[in-house]
Amino acid sequence: MPEEILNDISHRRYNPLRGSWLLVSPHRTKRPWQGQQESPSKITLPEYDPSCYLCPGNKRAQGDVNPKYENTFVFVNDYSAVKESQAEYTQGGDPSDLSNLLLRAAPVTGKCYVLTFSSSHNLTLADLTPAQILPVINLWTQIYASHLSPSNPLSSIPLNLPAPTQTIEKPSAQYTWMQIFENKGAAMGCSNPHPHGQIWTTTGLPEEPAAELQQLIKYRREHEGGNLLEDYVKVEIEKKERIVFENAGFLVVCPWWAVWPFEVMVVSKKHKRALVDLSVEERSDFAEAVAEVTRRYDNLFETSFPYSSGIHQAPLEGTEEEINASHFHMHFYPPLLRSATVRKFLVGYELMAEPQRDITPEQAAKRLREDCGGELYRKHLK
């Protein structure tokens, strides 16, 4: 464990992946809670819902009909946040004018997808085996590869994927970033319980991955080509304080700098820049790691555990330094704190000053590691 005194005193921890700090207040876990409580997840869903726009064979909002798919299915989002075609915009005027200096805007184009994880309406990733999650990872890989810039060195890597079940059309323009993510549960704003995630591709590099990439490049320059996350994996394996699960290819850890109570990061042990860098065996290892995280989450409070998750990897287009400094990893940000009904809020001090957490990452990792393994809890329910 870290110095025992850190379990009892307020302290700050540094996040080298973002170059930022957070406040840790472990003594606050003893305070009574009289605030908002979330309702436990007790809804029993049907395997097929005729009103669900993601179920096989059903009609979607714009009139398109889903095929009778069996595992995964991807389509362009009917309500995309960004579009490939829109009116042109260029900010004009005198660059020295205060309005142009302070009131800046830039157009963003891109393409957004919805990807179902299963044809069954009543399942989540926690219900799926690694073998059932693998087709999702294969499709993520296929989509990422199809959007890579021809100048990106990753575009020449042989994929060694199973025969695709869908053809992914090339985008009409070259985009910079692809964000693969999932919002699970109504507490995270998910509007449809059918197991699915989203993929947004955009021009420009968004704030979060840009902050991480800047730190990865800085570390690489300062440590003679070293890799920040590869070195961090070595530290965590040596310390064995925050590990939740590991296999040959991946480490699941509650990061030293975690903000959310049971936040975890799935990170490749070796320097892998993106999905296309993963071997067949490593994609299977990644599927196992995702299965372990989601199942342990549900087992923690015996509820369908809400979270937002997302993959950070090399940009679709960038400099050689940006591509090679990237390190494949996946974040899971869950809001639940004390039980299935008590969640953490990022408010007050966290909005105005810096992030803060109560339960330490070491305590969170211990619970997920020691108390939440084994079969999914609801398989034992009658």
- Give which of 357, 54, 46 is closest to 191, Cα–Cα: 54
pLDDT in tens, 336-374: 887 777 788 889 999 999 999 988 999 999 999 999 999
Mean confidence (pLDDT) of the chain: 92
Residue that is written with structure tokens 């003594």 in the block:
27
Does residue 300 contact residue 377 with C-beta atoms inside 8 Å? no
Angle at CA 148, nearest 5°, toward 162 and 265? 75
Average confidence (pLDDT) over 79-99: 90
* pLDDT band with cut points at 50, 70 and 90 for residue 43: low
Structure tokens at 63: 């009139």
The answer to the question of whether 312 is labelled as a binding residue is yes
The reported pLDDT for the residue numbered 33 is 45
Cβ contact 115:183 at 8 Å = no
- In sequence order, the 6+-apart residues with CB closer than 8 A to the CB of 168 are 74, 142, 143, 146
More confident residue, 223 or 101: 223
Integer CA distances (angstroms), 308 to 190, 205, 275, in order: 10, 20, 19
The pLDDT value recorded for residue 183 is: 95
**Binning pLDDT at 50, 70 and 90, where does residue 61 land?**
confident
Return the pLDDT at 342: 78
Instruction: Using pLDDT thresholds of 50, 70 and 90, give the confidence band for residue 2.
Output: low
For residue 324, say whether it is annotated as part of any ligand binding site. Answer: no
Is 379 known to sit in a ligand binding site? Answer: no
Distance CA 275, CA 313 (A): 8
- The larger pLDDT score, comparing residue 78 to residue 247, is at 247
30 is in an annotated binding site: yes
Question: pLDDT tens across 322-338, in order?
Answer: 999 999 999 999 998 87
Position 187 pLDDT exceeds 60: yes
| pLDDT tens digits, 113-149 | 999 999 999 999 999 999 999 999 999 999 999 999 9
The Cα–Cα gap between 158 and 140 comes to 15
Does residue 58 have a known ligand-binding role? Answer: no
Residue from 214, 140, 220 nearest 179 by CA = 140
The domain spans of the chain are 42-82+107-374
Does residue 36 carry a pLDDT above 70? no
pLDDT bracket for residue 39 (50, 70, 90): low
234 a known binding residue? no
> In a 3-state reduction of DSSP, which class is residue 14?
strand
The amino acid at residue 359 is I
Active site residues: 196
Task: Give the model's pLDDT for residue 174.
Answer: 96
Higher pLDDT, 341 or 195: 195
CATH hierarchy code of domain 42-82+107-374: 3.30.428.10
Q: What is the DSSP string of 313-377?
A: ---SS--HHHHHH---EEEEE--EEEETTEE----THHHHT--EESS-HHHHHHHHHHTS-SS-G
Residue with more model confidence, 2 or 208: 208
Q: pLDDT-derived band of residue 93, with 50, 70 and 90 as boundaries? A: confident
Mapped onto helix, strand or coil, the DSSP state of residue 18 is coil
Residue 112 among known ligand-binding residues = no
The reply to whether 198 sits in an annotated binding site is yes
